[in-house]
């Protein structure tokens, strides 16, 4: 889908330019925002330096994009893009407690970098397994590296009744089982469809010029 542009000077040097990072479709992309920040940083540098290398030269001095800029796109600038920077995106009194805590001491990748620069450690060396705690609006969603049990509702929006109350608590293993069941159900429906007809419909929907399509293998 081409190179990312969020770290282009046009967006990093103009205060009014609102850009941030997000995750598109979780069925085809990891949902890790630090991973998106890392990909952004690396791809931005690849694109910029490729033009220099194409001239048989070599980049010297500073590289395009900074780790701090990528980190800000994943945090406070995300809040600004949504018009919610007075509520979230940074840690300060009065804002929602939206906090992620990384276990740098128990991480092989983050251990050294964290001593140098915690922001560098998060953006360029962290993995999902390094996240020790996730707190959303003050509610703990991950504790000790494990997702906590959650209360769920049925598809009608009404809470499920368990033992006389109006909530059903599910563990991660139960949620994973439901995800696998849903996958099998969706796959069964897919098997009964015409993939070629779906392709033609998709191309027509986006008014795609099929003469521009080439085999990328």
Residues 194, 135: one domain? no
Tens digit of each residue's pLDDT (9 = 90 or more) over 22-50? 888 887 788 899 999 999 999 999 999 99
What average pLDDT does range 61-86 have in this prediction? 91
Mean pLDDT of the chain: 89
pLDDT tens per residue, range 79-116: 999 999 999 999 999 999 999 999 999 999 999 999 99
- Residue 212 belongs to some domain of the structure: no
Write the pLDDT tens digit of every residue in 166-191: 568 899 999 999 999 999 999 999 99
Overall domain count for the chain: 3
Strand, coil or helix: what is 6?
coil
The Cα angle at residue 33 between residues 29 and 37, in degrees rounded to 5:
100
Q: Does 214 fall in a domain? A: no
In a domain? residue 76: yes
DSSP letter (8 states) at residue 149:
P
Q: At which residue do the structure tokens 């099929």 appear? A: 210
Higher-confidence position of 25 and 154: 25
Is residue 3 one of the residues assigned to a domain? yes
What pLDDT shows up at residue 61?
80
- Looking at the structure, tell me whether residues 46 and 103 fall in a common domain: no
- Tell me the residue range of the domain where 171 lies: 150-207
Indicate whether 213 belongs to any domain: no
8 lies in some domain: yes
């Amino acid at each position: 889908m081409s190179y990312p542009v969020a770290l282009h000077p046009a967006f990093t040097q103009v205060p009014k330019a609102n850009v941030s990072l997000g995750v598109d479709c979780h069925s085809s992309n990891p949902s890790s925002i630090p991973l998106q920040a890392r990909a952004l940083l690396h791809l931005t540098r690849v694109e910029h330096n490729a033009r220099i290398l194409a001239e048989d030269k070599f980049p010297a001095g500073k590289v395009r994009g900074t780790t701090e800029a990528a980190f800000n796109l994943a945090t406070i600038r995300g809040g600004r893009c949504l018009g919610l920077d007075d509520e979230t995106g940074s840690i300060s009194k009065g804002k929602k407690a939206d906090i992620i805590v990384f276990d740098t001491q128990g991480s092989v990748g983050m251990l050294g970098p964290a001593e140098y620069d915690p922001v560098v450690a998060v953006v360029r060396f962290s993995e999902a397994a390094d996240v020790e705690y996730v707190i959303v609006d003050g509610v703990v969603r991950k504790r000790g590296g494990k997702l906590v049990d959650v209360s769920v509702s049925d598809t009608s929006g009404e809470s499920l009744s368990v033992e006389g109350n109006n909530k059903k608590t599910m563990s991660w293993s139960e949620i994973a089982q439901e995800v696998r069941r849903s996958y099998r159900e969706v796959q069964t429906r897919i098997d009964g469809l015409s993939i070629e007809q779906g392709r033609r419909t998709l191309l027509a929907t986006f008014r795609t010029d099929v003469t521009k399509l080439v085999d990328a293998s």
